[in-house]
Amino acid sequence: SAVAEAERTATSSSPAPTGDITNKLKYLFGKEAAETPKDAYHGTAWSVRERLIDSFDKTHEHWKKEDPKFIYYLSAEFLMGRSLTNTVYNLGLEGEYADALRQLGYDMEKVADAERDAALGNGGLGRLAACFLDSIATLDLPGWGYGIRYKYGMFKQVLKNGYQAEQPDIWLTSGNPWEIRRDGLRFEVGFGGRVERKKDGNKEVTVWTPSEKVWAQAYDNPIPGFSTPTTSNLRLWDAQPISEFDLGAFNAGDYDRAMLDRERAEAISAVLYPNDSTPEGKELRLKQQYFFVCASLQDVLSRFKATHGTKFELLPDKACFQLNDTHPTIAVAELMRLLVDVEGLDWDAAWTITTKCLNYTNHTVMPEALEKWPVKVMAKMLPRHMEIIEVINEGWTKWLGGHLKELKAEERAKRISAMSIIHENPWNKEEMLVNMAYLAVVGSSAVNGVAAIHSNIVKDEILNDFYQIFPSKFQNKTNGVTPRRWLAWCNPELASLITETLGSNEWINDTEKLSALRAHASDPTFQKKWAAVKHAKKEKLAALIKKIHGDSVNTNALFDIQIKRIHEYKRQYLNVLSIIWRYKQLKKMTPEQRKKAVPRVCLIGGKAASAYDMAKRIIRLVTAVGDVINKDPETKDLLSLYFLPDYNVTLAETIIPAAELSQHISTAGTEASGTSNMKFQMNGCLIIGTWDGANIEIAEETGVDNVFVFGVRADEINQLRKERKNFKTDPRWDEIMKDIEGGMFGDKDYFKPLVDSVNNMKVGNDWFLVANDFAAYLDAQEEVDKVYKDQSEWLRRSIMYTAGSGKFSSDRTIREYAEDIWHVKPSRPAA
């Protein structure tokens, strides 16, 4: 079996874990024994780290010898979560370490609980990058991730009187056993300064002299594959000052000035921008982007040169880069700079190489969310890159002119100006912008969306002009999630039941095998076992709710969950409105009628970007409604609502296995894919959702009739938006809006803008069409209740979800990228 295979491949010569754990505690932490789970965690993690490094070294020795083509995943975010459990399971060491910890008086799960999340990402895009690394390693693909080692990751969310407050994520203070600081492996990164032309013999060369320089210091984070000897790498860059400190200033008594360089440099990798989807045009963000891209490209080129010298025409056969959204797009200009200015290639040769090496993934449909940097900002911080982008744009628009020569002059000029990488700011004609998505498309071989519907929207709307010019550049790569973390490791009880039923655990590497569960979906004995696992997971989540909120929830109730970043387009608001309606209905019922009602525990979790005012009001609405209904003795066993603070990867690992219904209710056409929907599906959780993102493909795989689909379709949205002001809202909607406005949940002034955003056509327009979908959503919720009353039907569907989840393994996604875009092949070291 895969696990047995993994156990065999684990190094047998390693020291017995018990002694090793106590050794690590003694010599690294000065402790005689593990007094707390945290001690036990530290000892265990530093011990496991050595096994990880063994397989890391073997893998890289092998790759060095084989010299295969590599994929480099460039991403400003990697939302890794915890590493201990994932590492011991992926390496097949769980038995060994669980035994060792037992001997020391500890339970593996409690010990694992002492680890802090590595939260170097906002949400979906960052977690996708983390799942992709797991699959790249598991599939033995030569590949690395490259990003930023933020000192402070995603902020910690706390509730203060029901409002969100943010606290810094201090995650590195106790040391990080999962990283290796590569002493001496660092690259200079420059900013600002001037650009000059100089003569080198009879050749004109360009010399950029930055006014500010920092070191990018490498930290490696080994990524173990599952059931393979391959351990790949995530290399993160930390910004360091070039000079330790200014001794002159220090001697003169000016301590602040002495430390200035250090502070300026360290600021670059200090904090993750906690904005999801709405770009903030902050210079520091561009600085971060260039910082990690510049270091990563120098690193790759220096390794390339060590084996191939200056035969750069071979580069596309040895390296390719995936741009995770537009965040690393400055790579287009940086690779050109390195090849032309530093290596002396001529422009056209460099351009051919650059465009062959780069590929771009788009993750968002909202036009306002696409990154555009003011030319002024770019020219000041990256003067040479701004010139390069200008030259690229000249070449591009000229080529376009030729390509469109059939068009009438006026039409042609219009098209060219619409596709220019540098264009006017439509809201401020004085300002010129660099459109990073356009730069990415022009500079890449392939462009992809992240779910079928999304890739079509990219082709037909967002980048339609480009699609018409380069139809074959555009692809779809439907997202996936790793079945290791998101099923096998976070839900071992369900995993065992599946393995027992299918006769092997091969499904962990080949999730298509899960489809064999379909044959058991209606079997009452199997259903009973399936239900028992779900119930155990609900108990565990209930214990967590008790710990957070002090309340005991009804574990026989339907666990109904919505967890994701808080966003108007994701419509947590719609969810709350339906909970209010449910509450009002329950209040009207007689005790007899109440006996027939389906009890629900509703949970909502997610962070709001710190400056996203409306999202913060939505959080407050959730907590305010919860405060009222959770205290109502008449109904609280039938309906409760809790906001789960500080939603993160680790919390998701407890919530998802316990969920029976999950909500993916974005306005059709707005959620590029969604990935938690896939995690819920794998864990046998039914979905209520709109015809959007990956929901569509999930429904197709699960059977559309098994999914609670509701609401308007993406192709109706534009028309409905135009007609929204004439839309006749449902009387139930009007009633609820009056309740909120009237102060039923307190805080009525604070909720006013929220009410206005969906009712007052002068203020909010209800852009995300909450009102249009409201009635259909209530109907779908009624259908949920009806099915839940028939537990055998509910369980049948639940099993059908897991059975239909095979497509959504990130292994499938990564195989498609490897074959259609990267052209990299597996290369597995000997065990």
| Interaction between residue 671 and ligand 26Y (CB under 6 A) | yes
- Which of the stretches 13-21, 193-201, 213-221, 277-285 binds ligand 26Y when contact is defined by CB under 6 A? 277-285
Structure tokens at 25: 């505690």
Interface characters, 295-334, with ligand 26Y (x: CB under 6 A): ------------------------------x---------
| Interaction between residue 620 and ligand 26Y (CB under 6 A) | no
Structure tokens at 504: 């092997």
- Which of the stretches 117-125, 373-381, 395-403, 507-515 binds ligand 26Y when contact is defined by CB under 6 A? 117-125
The residue from 122, 269, 478, 706 that contacts ligand 26Y (CB under 6 A) is: 122
Least Å from the CB of residue 280 to ligand 26Y: 6
Least Å from the CB of residue 571 to ligand 26Y: 13
150 and 273 Cβ atoms separated by less than 8 Å: no
| Interaction between residue 623 and ligand 26Y (CB under 6 A) | no
- Which of the stretches 431-439, 583-591, 669-677, 727-735 binds ligand 26Y when contact is defined by CB under 6 A? 669-677
Active-site choice (459, 477, 534, 679)? 679
Look up tokens 């938690």; give the residue.
676
Residues between 17 and 76 that touch ligand 26Y (CB under 6 A): none
Number of residues lying near ligand 26Y (CB under 6 A): 23
The residue from 289, 393, 675, 809 that contacts ligand 26Y (CB under 6 A) is: 675
Structure tokens at 91: 């390496």
Q: What residues are paired with 224 via a beta bridge?
A: 231
CA trace torsion 288, 294, 295, 300 (10° rounding): 140
Pick 9 or 813: Cβ nearer ligand 26Y: 813
Active-site choice (565, 582, 616, 807)? 565
Half-sphere exposure of 332 (CA within 13 A, CB side): 28
Could you tell me which residues come within 8 angstroms of residue 112 by beta carbon, excluding any fewer than 6 positions away?
Answer: 41, 82, 84, 85
- Which of the stretches 19-27, 78-86, 667-675, 788-796 binds ligand 26Y when contact is defined by CB under 6 A? 667-675
Could you tell me which residues come within 8 angstroms of residue 19 by beta carbon, excluding any fewer than 6 positions away?
Answer: none
Q: How far is 490 from 229, CA to CA, in rounded Å?
A: 22
For the chain, what is the largest distance between any 2 Cα atoms, rounded to a whole number of angstroms? 96
First to last CA, the chain: 16
| Interaction between residue 458 and ligand 26Y (CB under 6 A) | no
Q: Residue 70 is which amino acid? A: F
The residue from 220, 276, 697, 701 that contacts ligand 26Y (CB under 6 A) is: 276
Q: In 3D, which of 299, 331, 328 has the Cα closest to residue 217? A: 299
Burial of 767: CB neighbours in 10 Å, binned 0-12, 13-18, 19+: middle
| Interaction between residue 277 and ligand 26Y (CB under 6 A) | yes
Residue nearest ligand 26Y, Cβ-based: 124
- Which of the stretches 46-54, 179-187, 275-283, 434-442 binds ligand 26Y when contact is defined by CB under 6 A? 275-283
Active-site choice (363, 385, 513, 600)? 363
- Which of the stretches 123-131, 192-200, 211-219, 227-235 binds ligand 26Y when contact is defined by CB under 6 A? 123-131
Has 363 been annotated as catalytic? yes
Look up tokens 């666990």; give the residue.
559
| Interaction between residue 123 and ligand 26Y (CB under 6 A) | yes
Least Å from the CB of residue 822 to ligand 26Y: 17
Q: How far is CA 211 from CA 192, 288, 380, 530, 830, in A?
A: 5, 17, 10, 64, 48
Interface characters, 217-256, with ligand 26Y (x: CB under 6 A): ----------------------------------------
Active-site choice (60, 385, 454, 564)? 564
Give phi and psi for 531, each to the nearest 5: -65, -35
Q: What residues are paired with 195 via a beta bridge?
A: 208
- Which of the stretches 153-161, 638-646, 665-673, 742-750 binds ligand 26Y when contact is defined by CB under 6 A? 665-673
| Interaction between residue 128 and ligand 26Y (CB under 6 A) | yes
Has 584 been annotated as catalytic? no
Q: In 3D, which of 821, 822, 818 has the Cα closest to residue 139? A: 818
| Interaction between residue 279 and ligand 26Y (CB under 6 A) | yes
Burial of 4: CB neighbours in 10 Å, binned 0-12, 13-18, 19+: exposed
Has 459 been annotated as catalytic? no
Report CA torsion sign: 542, 546, 548, 553: positive
Q: What residues are paired with 639 via a beta bridge?
A: 600
Q: How far is CA 673 from CA 6, 61, 697, 704, in A?
A: 32, 37, 10, 17
Active-site choice (635, 667, 675, 802)? 675
| Interaction between residue 453 and ligand 26Y (CB under 6 A) | no
The residue from 59, 479, 640, 759 that contacts ligand 26Y (CB under 6 A) is: 479
Long-range contacts of 21-30 (CB under 8 A, 24+ apart): 21/47, 21/100, 21/101, 21/104, 22/104, 23/47
Least Å from the CB of residue 608 to ligand 26Y: 14
Pick 217 or 364: Cβ nearer ligand 26Y: 364
| Interaction between residue 696 and ligand 26Y (CB under 6 A) | no
| Interaction between residue 274 and ligand 26Y (CB under 6 A) | no
Q: Look at strands 661-664 and 686-689 and give their pairing.
A: parallel
- Which of the stretches 99-107, 120-128, 168-176, 305-313 binds ligand 26Y when contact is defined by CB under 6 A? 120-128
Pick 246 or 671: Cβ nearer ligand 26Y: 671
Half-sphere exposure of 469 (CA within 13 A, CB side): 21
813 and 479 Cβ atoms separated by less than 8 Å: yes
Q: How far is 177 from 358, CA to CA, in rounded Å?
A: 33
Least Å from the CB of residue 369 to ligand 26Y: 6
Q: In 3D, which of 423, 370, 378, 373 has the Cα closest to residue 396? A: 423
Interface characters, 339-378, with ligand 26Y (x: CB under 6 A): ------------------------xx------x-------
Has 595 been annotated as catalytic? no
Angle at 732 between CA 727 and CA 733, to 5 degrees: 50
Least Å from the CB of residue 287 to ligand 26Y: 14
Least Å from the CB of residue 428 to ligand 26Y: 19
Least Å from the CB of residue 3 to ligand 26Y: 29
- Which of the stretches 188-196, 464-472, 673-681, 790-798 binds ligand 26Y when contact is defined by CB under 6 A? 673-681
Q: In 3D, which of 748, 766, 768 has the Cα closest to residue 758? A: 766
Least Å from the CB of residue 626 to ligand 26Y: 26
Pick 272 or 338: Cβ nearer ligand 26Y: 272
Has 372 been annotated as catalytic? no
Q: Residue 171 is which amino acid? A: W
Active-site choice (42, 520, 570, 796)? 570
**Is residue 121 classed as helix, strand or coil in its secondary structure?**
coil
Has 675 been annotated as catalytic? yes
Pick 450 or 737: Cβ nearer ligand 26Y: 450
| Interaction between residue 134 and ligand 26Y (CB under 6 A) | no
Report CA torsion sign: 661, 663, 664, 667: positive
The residue from 177, 383, 693, 711 that contacts ligand 26Y (CB under 6 A) is: 693
Query: How many of the other CB atoms lie within 10 Å of CB of 593?
Result: 11
Report CA torsion sign: 627, 628, 632, 635: negative
Give phi and psi for 476, each to the nearest 5: -115, 140
Residues between 371 and 430 that touch ligand 26Y (CB under 6 A): 371
Q: How far is 522 from 794, CA to CA, in rounded Å?
A: 10
447 and 363 Cβ atoms separated by less than 8 Å: no
Q: Give residues in contact with ligand 26Y (CB under 6 A).
A: 122-125, 128, 273, 275-277, 279-280, 325, 363-364, 371, 450, 479, 671-675, 693
What positions carry a catalytic annotation?
A: 363, 564-565, 570, 675, 679
